[in-house]
Structure 1
Amino acid sequence: MRYLGGLRASSSVWKMMTLPAVLALPVAAAAQDAAAVISTEAAFGAREIQQLSLSPDGTHIAMIVPMKGRGAMLRIADMVGGKIADPILSSSGDPESLRDCRWSTNTRLVCRFITTAHTGTDLLAFSRALAIDSNGGNRKILSARTNERSLGIMQDGGNVIDWTADGAEGAVLMTRKFVPEAMIGTLLARSAVGLGVERIDTVTLTRRVVEPARANAIEYISDGQGSVRIVGSRAMTSGGYDGAKVIYSYRKAGDRAWQPLSQVASTVSGGKSGFDPYAIDPALNVAYGFDDRDGRQALYKIALDGSLKRDLVLARPDVDVDQLIRLGRQNRVVGAAYATDRREVEFFDPTLQKLATSLRKALPGRPLITFVDANANETKLLLFAGSDVDPGRYYLLDRTTNKMGEVAPSRPELGKTTLASVQSITFRAADGTMIPGYLTLPIGGTGKGLPAIVMPHGGPGSRDEWGFDWLSQYFAARGFAVLQPNFRGSTGYGSAWFQKNGFQSWRTAIGDVNDAGRWLMSQGIAAPDKLAIVGWSYGGYAALQSAVLDPGLFKAVIGIAPVTDLDALREESRGFTAFAQVDTFIGHGAHIQAGSPARNADKIKVPVLLFHGDRDRNVGIGESRLMAAKLRGAGGKVELVEFSGLDHQLDDDVARTAMLTKADAFLRTSLGM
């Protein structure tokens, strides 16, 4: 998400226009009739609109919306005629998933699918790109094809890196993974291997190579005007794994020769050192990227004219600068963002800064605003606006008429639900360090003597931010106080805060999580013996490990797709090229035994509820099965709920509804409510 953040405007500047009524209706297939009543669990378990994209002429919006269950469908909204067409493309979610669609012309789109398949003992992901007319016709696969002579599989179906290749309508630049072919019995076999770039006409499907395959290439960056200016390469180790260093090279404008730009090395903690390029500004002839500055990530620009002149663009003394703000079909850089207690944006474009200033009052109560897309000349902008008490809604803004109208709510099922406000707080850890976090209290009441939940985030390379969170809001709606701590080991606060990462420095990270629970009790927010912990992914690991570190603190534990054994997590990646990076990140030593909840199951004395999808590629379901077996062996009380065919995100409204229902009942029983 590219947040505008904290905007204010004069409503006299932007007049709210009335879009055709059909566009204001819920567009999700699972949305209920206005007169129908759905359960709280179903309302919060319903998935949001996945993605919207604006056509180059600004007259149509492509929307990927959820279907009941785990599927998704592509619908086209006519912003002039006020109609939403029947779905023209869909995915079942079992296992293929429609992920994103963007316009290549006013009548043609490029969509990307992800699917999974078992190869031996490994569960692999495959992506493929498809071109389709906006009426659903002329469907063609854009991804290159392999054949019976291919000497390997092609997981990566390519990504569009430039939507305006050489100015020709419908032409894009797209990466291609070249797979060599067997030479026996043919003179036509391809020998190229590695990542390259092709220019593809999405209408005629003609294609030509613009960047030849490079065996070690992992990334190409275009200038948004059809020229590839940066390539990133990573050498392999003798064991066939990814090396720890990425070497970036660049081209001067109009030159085909590659020159050294920077080197980015992976650190032991899982971070990076060195200038990491993200985008090119062809007008300034610079590359924008991130690098360390005094222990925090900052934004820099480096001249691509041969001088490599380096300038600091934006830095903060308290938090990392972690996002570029980009706009339009050329993805031009217009600003950068960071998160303190809330996400903030600084614009480099004075016109957009003025626009940002005017939008606040036009969208009162929804300060988290994102530029989602723009038409070709940027006279029309597709926006997303939300807050802690609003899941968000999409708007179309016409800069020529100074009018703006709502397109659709992100989560129509929550349209009539009053949500709880989220407070930014700090609490003191055992060593005196002040830990930031977010507290959500149920609506009404005094905020004291409540059943309470500590909810550590995933990652561990992540952090929580102020805004809408469906899981914490659900529990608040059910009467729980919820505290989401940004414990040490979270990203966003610099390398000293991240430490060695949340696994190698687990005692500090989990100590902060447990101190969050103690703070809830010391403030009188949590009632005695009414404190639980709920976490997803690393958060699930933290929930389980918290009960190892302090068995009496929390009275119930819920882990969703949790890591439970650090060596098991390491072994899951052994068959992949990233194994060396994962191995270094997890590390070796005494923390493997002490920091693996499955190896310390006998210390967990409270009821445990686990949820896991059996097609999870982030954390294999074997980790939850191991945890459940170890807990049962130690005489513990545990239940494991497995979801067939689902991945790490449990991207299924039926499954999420069932999970919320069961989690709520489990907590009420365990806490004696």
Structure 2
Amino acid sequence: MKFLLLLLLGSLSISSGFANKNYKTLAKELFKQPDVSDVRLTPGNRGLSYLSSRKGISRLELLDLESGRTYTASVEDTPDIYDYYWIDRDTVLFFAQKLGTPIGAYTASYKLASVKPADFYRVYDTLPDTENLYIGKDDNFDEKFNDLYLINAKNGSRKRIEENDGTILAWFTDKDGVTRIRYTIDEYERDRYAYRSSADDDWRDIDINGHPVGVLFHGGPDEFIVFVRHDGDARFAAYTFNGAKNEYVDTVLEHEEYDILYNLIVVDPETEKTYGFQYDLQKPKTYWLDPEMAEISARIDRQHPATFNQVLGYDAEKRSVVYQRFSDKRPKEWLRFNIETGEEELLLQELPEIDTEQSAKTESITYLARDGTKIHGYLTRATSHSFQAHKALLMIHGGPRARDRWGWDAEAQYFAKLGYHVLKINYRGSEGYGIEFSPYSHIDSIESSVRDTVDGARWLVDQGLASPGKIAIYGSSFGGHVSLCSAAAEPEIFFASMGYAGVYDWPTHLDKAFEEQPVYARLKTNTYYPDFEKNRAHWFAASALPQAKKISCPVFLIHGRSDETVSATQSRRMHKALKKAGKQSQLKILSFNRHGFTLEKNRISFYSSLAEFLEEASP
């Protein structure tokens, strides 16, 4: 499963006083498209491919590691390239969009020449050591129960290799592209798995006994690493499982406080040999399965202790490795490290204009919620007089099964430069802290997220970082719900509340989601939405809409007109309820926006608008 992530990044090099009068100037520096993103080693380890930005449009480029030359894929009408996959050493498949809507697929050679249109499929397995071929899903993006096809990227021919009977949610393929595990959910909402040792074997049930998030085929022919929370256990961990024997072999990695959930797998881009995986605690870490790579990584860490350094793989000669590094004050950059000499060469930079000496520092913090539960978050202090009481801004992530992470954060940098202490909270419902912290029940997250956020605001006051009435709150999607409900719960604390693409009436939102994607209504309704129909009144009472009268601060609502995830009607109705209650509310509908920001100019305008609204609402 591939998740598209929105990276809101940019550059910064002006003083706080100047920025207060020039929100848009600062936003242009911080929220521009990154110069470089989505960097990958090519099969054969000959080059680094990446998306580059020119005038807000992303293009596919390649840096040849031997010659140092850069190549660019040239496509008629210069569409925005948003994703790509290497099918083999000399074939890349890439996808174009316009205003966030996919419009086509293309293939190109290693040096990004010979660009030709291709059929549009979702890539499931690239099979990089097999010429021209990859495994793909149906081109219907709304279909959940997909068949799998073996597809020729060059001529478009395809052969169905797995037919879905209407129950299979996912297949897991091995390094040869053979489907070895399939995942279903039974009528009792239990996770079920079947396994086979080869394509010629029959499927047989295996007892993983839990909810997995991923599989790595590593080890013996029938052994794989599974990231799973066992039934009855509190947290996800990584285990070795033998499919042929239907038994767990050993524990690879576990943690007493955090879930072990990988967010990057380090593999050879051609052989798909697994070197290790990256995961998150308070800060990111890497677990190495390969001792040689672990030693190289340790050497790099000793040279750069202030940054997180992620080795991505060897070059073609195995004399060097390519690694990525970043920190809370430094955007990503990619370097080549000579294994013998330790010498380094800077290859690519995400945001070369950033003055890292002027960046604000982000620290991991914890505080106790009112019931004694430990809550994690990230505090970025205002860049001037950072230990004094300032105005503060809570920035609440969506999800809820997502989380904020340590690293370079353009949002936090922007508002810290404007004089705000910025606190990002991983409230209960956020992923990564165990089942008791993030229960499957959505209504629990809807309610506990608000309490934890309010307690975070009180923590800022207790720490002397802000005063009641000098704290603002902003959230997007699920975070929009948290923002407005927090302002309703404790009106004396907040001077402004902002929501982007928020959900403010949960029963209406879920009715629409179930109607448009009925597959969800047949899978884990009772797990995630227990007694929803029976308790609709409870769900509505926990929404922001009926609490409009309790909100005393000015509210700013923003929504994309074309949002297919959360209807813009949610913000319109919230605005109407606030106005009817005699409250201060502004509503801005963005004509071409969906649930996130595709266009650079829209991001710049959005954050400029937030800054101006905060200044106007500030006591």
Quickly name the TM-score band, shorter chain normalised.
0.7 to 0.9
The alignment partner of 2:448 has SS state of helix
Residues 72, 90 of structure 1: 8 Å contact kept: no
The amino acid that maps onto 1:360 is D
Q: Deviations over 1:502-540 (max 9, x none)?
A: 643433321110111111112221145321111122222
Look up the match of 1:286: 223
Q: 1:378 to 1:226 in 2, by over 3 A?
A: farther
Shift of 1:415: 4.7
> C-alpha displacement at 1:339, in angstroms?
2.9
The unaligned stretches of length 5 or more in structure 1 are: 3-27, 118-124, 144-156, 180-192, 238-242, 265-272
Residue 538 of structure 1 aligns to which amino acid in structure 2? F
Instruction: Determine the structure 2 residue equivalent to 1:299.
Output: 238
1:216 pairs with one of 167, 172, 183? 167
**Cα distance in structure 2, aligned partners of 1:642 and 1:652:** 15
1:60 aligns with 2:35: no
Say whether residues 1:105 and 2:55 are aligned partners. no
Distance 1:653 1:331 in 2: 35
Q: Which residue of 1 aligns with 2:16?
A: none
Among candidates 513, 518, 533, match of residue 577 of structure 1: 518
CA contact (8 A) 1:177 1:196 kept: no
Change in 2 beyond 3 A, CA 1:277/1:477: closer
2:130 corresponds in structure 1 to 168
| TM-aligned CA distance change 1:115 to 1:233, over 3 Å | farther
Query: Which residue type is aligned with residue 315 of structure 1?
Result: E
- How many Å separate the matches in 2 of 1:194 and 1:497? 31
1:358 aligns with 2:299: yes
Q: Which runs of 5+ in 2 are unaligned?
A: 3-7, 13-21
Taking the aligned partners of 1:31 and 1:513, their CA distance within structure 2 comes to 29
- Residue 562 of structure 1 is matched in structure 2 by 502
Q: Secondary structure at the match of 1:651?
A: coil
Normalized against structure 2, the TM-score is what?
A: 0.85
Q: Does 1:644 align with 2:594?
A: no
1:516 is matched with which residue: 447, 453, 456? 456
Deviation per residue, 1:223-258 (Å, 9 max, x gap):
1123222223457x8xxxxx8445322211464321
Match of 1:132 among 96, 101, 108: 108
Indicate conservation of the 8 Å contact 1:328/1:378, yes or no: no
* Aligned-pair CA distance for 1:644: 2.0
1:313 aligns with 2:252: yes
Does the aligned pair in 1 maintain the 2:468–2:492 contact within 8 Å? no
Change in CA separation of 1:91 and 1:395 when aligned onto 2, cut-off 3 Å: farther
SS of equivalent residue, structure 2 residue 396 = coil
Q: 1:639 to 1:508 in 2, by over 3 A?
A: same
1:117-170 Cα deviation digits (max 9, x unpaired):
9xxxxxxx8796532234442413144xxxxxxxxxxxxx22131423xx4333
Tell me how far 1:416 sits from its aligned partner: 6.5
1:624 to 571, 576, 585: 571
User: For 2:224 and 2:584, how far apart are their aligned partners in 1?
Assistant: 55
Give 2:325's aligned residue: 385
Question: Residue 202 of structure 2 aligns to which amino acid in structure 1?
Answer: A
- 1:284-313 per-residue CA deviation (whole Å, 9 max, x = no partner) reads 531222222531111122112244344322
1:259 alignment counterpart: 204
Structure 2 letter corresponding to 1:250: Y
Which of 77, 82, 85 is the aligned partner of 2:68?
82
The farther-off stretch of 385-394 and 616-625 is 616-625
CA distance in 2, matches of 1:556, 1:371: 43
TM-score (norm 1): 0.79
Change (3 A) 1:582 1:455: farther
- Amino acid aligned to 1:52: V
- Report the CA distance shift for 1:277/1:234 in structure 2 as closer, same or farther (over 3 A): same
Superposed, which structure 2 residues align to 1:121-270 within 5 Å? 129-133=105-109, 134-143=111-120, 157-164=121-128, 167-176=129-138, 195-234=146-185, 244-253=189-198, 255-262=200-207
CA, structure 1 residues 78+468, in 2 after alignment: closer, same or farther (shift >3 Å)? same
1:47 aligns with 2:33: yes
Structure 1 CA distance for aligned equivalents of residues 185 and 450 of structure 2:
34
Deviation at 1:450, TM superposition (A): 0.5
Rate the CA distance shift 1:328–1:306 in 2: closer, same or farther, 3 A: same
Asked if 1:420 is matched to 2:360, the reply is yes
- Alignment length, in residue pairs? 588
3-state SS of paired residue (1:464): coil
- Shift of residue 576 of structure 1? 0.7
Give yes or no for contact 1:73–1:90 (8 Å, CA) kept in 2.
no
1:402 is displaced (CA, Å) by: 5.3
- Seen in structure 2, the aligned counterparts of structure 1 residues 417 and 43 have a Cα distance that, compared at 3 Å, is farther
SS in 2 for 1:529: coil
Cα distance change, pair 485–307 in 1 and its aligned pair in 2 (3 A): closer
* DSSP 3-state at the match of 2:444: coil
Distance, in Å, in 1 between the alignment partners of 2:332 and 2:161 is 41
1:338–1:344: 8 Å Cα contact kept in structure 2?
A: yes
Q: Of 598, 601, 606, which aligns to 2:553? A: 606
Equivalent residues of 1:195, 1:216 under 8 A apart? no
Counterpart amino acid of residue 325 in structure 1: I
Q: 1:507 to 1:229 in 2, by over 3 A?
A: closer
**Cα distance in structure 2, aligned partners of 1:651 and 1:98:** 11
Percent of aligned pairs with the same residue? 24
Contact 1:172/1:202, CA 8 A, preserved across alignment? yes
Aligned to 1:153: none
Separation in 2 of the partners of 1:291 and 1:86?
Answer: 41
What is the CA–CA distance in structure 2 between the aligned matches of 1:417 and 1:391, rounded to whole Å? 12
Q: CA deviation at 1:177?
A: 6.2
One-letter identity of the residue aligned with 2:60: L
Per the TM alignment, residue 87 of structure 1 is displaced from its structure 2 partner at its CA by: 4.4
- Per the TM alignment, residue 376 of structure 1 is displaced from its structure 2 partner at its CA by 7.0
Q: 2:468·2:494 contact (CA, 8 Å) conserved in 1? A: no
Is 1:340 the counterpart of 2:277? The answer is no
Paired amino acid for 1:79: L
Say yes or no: does 1:633 pair with 2:572.
Answer: no
Which residue number in structure 2 is paired with residue 436 of structure 1?
A: 376
